[in-house]
């Protein structure tokens, strides 16, 4: 496979994953705004930070309003991480690697782009938001379905999966990075309604508010929420789960190509970090430091993969 093709697949799936995650963040933000009485600017500030585009937003807007924040996250092409920008980039990458994709996967991607381009051609009205979020989730879901149902499990599949999970791990880590303070035991006044809302919002932004209740018997506690998002390897958006998938897919590549790279060591040691630590331990040594360190490793892994598999050179 061409190095450029591996690169295109990796980024195509990173962007699809990112589009979906941004939609999820917007959804959580809207929910927060619905359930609180006062101003919601603070919530949107958090959403923009979790999406990693707070500074980009300030470069375009003098003040923060919820309408502008939503528009910026959803359809502003000046924002490379807006849903529309992500879908544009995903489709461009898909076009570039067209020969590596099944017809079904390509068509699902192309149709996603066609529908969203139409749907997001104008600024969205608040009343249309549920429908828009739903279309984004449905369309990206169809791409995933076509991909899983039709693609051969070869290196093409592995690079796509690695892109998906590096992006997912990054997204979940960012949410924790921005919101870690609501999970700190010292500040958290267990049972206060504000905290409950904040925690629920974190869970919502990774679509885990229902599954959490099942796993932890409806018991909201900062340590459990952090555990779910970081260490629980059955939770599909957790860091541990993502790294499990990354290590597996990198392992297939190593066997197929008969060589391994620095990326393999980095991925394995990061997974080990997630498997060997207990949540109390992490909390004690500093949740924030842990997350920041993780983000650094995750970025490094991305670079090592692009280096090892000759994405650019």
Partner 1 sequence: MMNAVSNPRQPYENYHEWYEGQDRARLIAKSKEAENLFRKTGITFAVYGHEDSSEKLIPFDIIPRIISGREWRKLAQGIEQRVIALNAFLDDIYHKQEIIKAGRIPRELIERNEAFLPQMIGFKPPGGVYTHIVGTDIVRTGEDQFYVLEDNARTPSGVSYMLENRETMMQMFPELFHINKVRPVEDYPKLLRQSLASLAPPGCSGKPRVAVLTPGIFNSAYYEHAFLADMMGVELVEGSDLRVVDGKVKMRTTRGYEAIDVLYRRVDDDFLDPLTFRPDSALGIPGIMDVYRAGNITIANAPGTGISDDKAIYSYMPEIVEFYTGRKAMLENVPTWRCSEEDSLKYVLEHLSELVVKEVHGSGGYGMLVGPTASRKECAAFAEKLKARPSNYIAQPTLSLSTVPIMVNKGIAPRHVDLRPYVLVSDKVQIIPGGLTRVALKEGSLVVNSSQGGGTKDTWVLED
Quote the least distance from Cβ 128 to partner 1, whole Å: 23
Distances from the Cα of 230 to the Cα of 13, 24, 117, 172, angstroms: 22, 18, 35, 8
Nearer to partner 1, 115 or 293 (CB): 115
Q: Which tokens is 148 given? A: 């899983």
Contacts of 44 (CB under 8 A, 6+ apart): 29, 33, 64, 66, 69, 70
Quote the least distance from Cβ 117 to partner 1, whole Å: 11
* Rg of the chain on CA atoms, in Å: 19
SS3 227: helix
Name residue, tokens 């998938």: 245
Rounded CA separation 13/104 (Å): 15
* Contact set with partner 1 (CB under 8 A): 1-4, 6, 92, 95-96, 98-99, 103, 106-107, 110-111, 114, 155, 159, 253, 257, 259, 309-310, 313
| Nearest-5° Cα angle at 294, 291 to 300 | 150
Rounded CA separation 150/167 (Å): 22
Nearer to partner 1, 30 or 116 (CB): 116
Contacts of 242 (CB under 8 A, 6+ apart): 165, 166, 168, 169, 172
Nearer to partner 1, 107 or 233 (CB): 107
Nearer to partner 1, 125 or 313 (CB): 313
Nearer to partner 1, 189 or 313 (CB): 313
Quote the least distance from Cβ 155 to partner 1, whole Å: 7
Quote the least distance from Cβ 95 to partner 1, whole Å: 5
Q: What is the 3-state secondary structure (H, E, C) of 80-147?
A: CCCHHHHHHHHHHHHHHCHHHCCHHHHHHHHHHHHHHHHHCCCCCCHHHHHHHHHHHHHHHHHHHHHH
Quote the least distance from Cβ 84 to partner 1, whole Å: 15
Nearer to partner 1, 41 or 104 (CB): 104
Nearer to partner 1, 92 or 221 (CB): 92
Quote the least distance from Cβ 23 to partner 1, whole Å: 23
Quote the least distance from Cβ 114 to partner 1, whole Å: 7
């Amino acid at each position: 496979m061409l190095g450029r093709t591996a690169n295109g697949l990796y980024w195509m799936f990173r962007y699809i994953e990112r589009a979906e995650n941004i939609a999820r963040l917007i959804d959580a933000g809207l929910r927060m705004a619905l359930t609180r009485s006062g101003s919601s600017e603070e919530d949107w500030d958090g959403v923009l930070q979790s999406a990693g585009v707070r500074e980009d937003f300030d470069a375009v807007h003098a003040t923060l309003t919820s309408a502008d924040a939503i528009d910026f996250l959803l359809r502003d092409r000046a924002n490379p991480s807006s849903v529309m920008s992500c879908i544009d980039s995903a489709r461009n990458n898909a076009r570039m690697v067209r020969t590596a994709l099944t017809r079904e996967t390509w068509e699902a991607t192309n149709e996603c782009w066609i529908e969203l381009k139409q749907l997001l051609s104008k600024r969205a009205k608040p009343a249309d938001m549920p429908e828009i979020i739903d279309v984004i989730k449905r369309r990206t879901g169809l791409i995933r379905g076509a991909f899983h149902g039709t693609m051969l499990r070869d290196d093409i599949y592995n690079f796509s999966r690695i892109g998906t999970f590096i992006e997912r791990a990054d997204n979940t880590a960012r949410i924790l990075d921005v919101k870690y303070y609501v999970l700190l035991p010292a500040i958290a006044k267990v049972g206060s309604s504000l905290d409950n809302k904040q925690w629920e919002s974190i869970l919502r932004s990774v679509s885990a508010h229902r599954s959490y209740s099942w796993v932890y018997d409806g018991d909201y506690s900062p340590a459990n929420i952090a555990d779910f998002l970081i260490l629980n390897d059955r939770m599909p958006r957790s860091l541990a789960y993502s790294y499990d998938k990354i290590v597996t897919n990198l392992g297939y590549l190593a066997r197929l190509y008969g060589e391994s790279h620095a990326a393999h060591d980095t991925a394995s040691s990061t997974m080990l970090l997630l498997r060997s630590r207990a949540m109390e331990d992490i909390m004690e040594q500093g949740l924030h430091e842990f997350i920041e360190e993780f983000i650094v490793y995750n970025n490094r892994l991305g670079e090592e993969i692009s280096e090892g598999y000759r994405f650019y050179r």
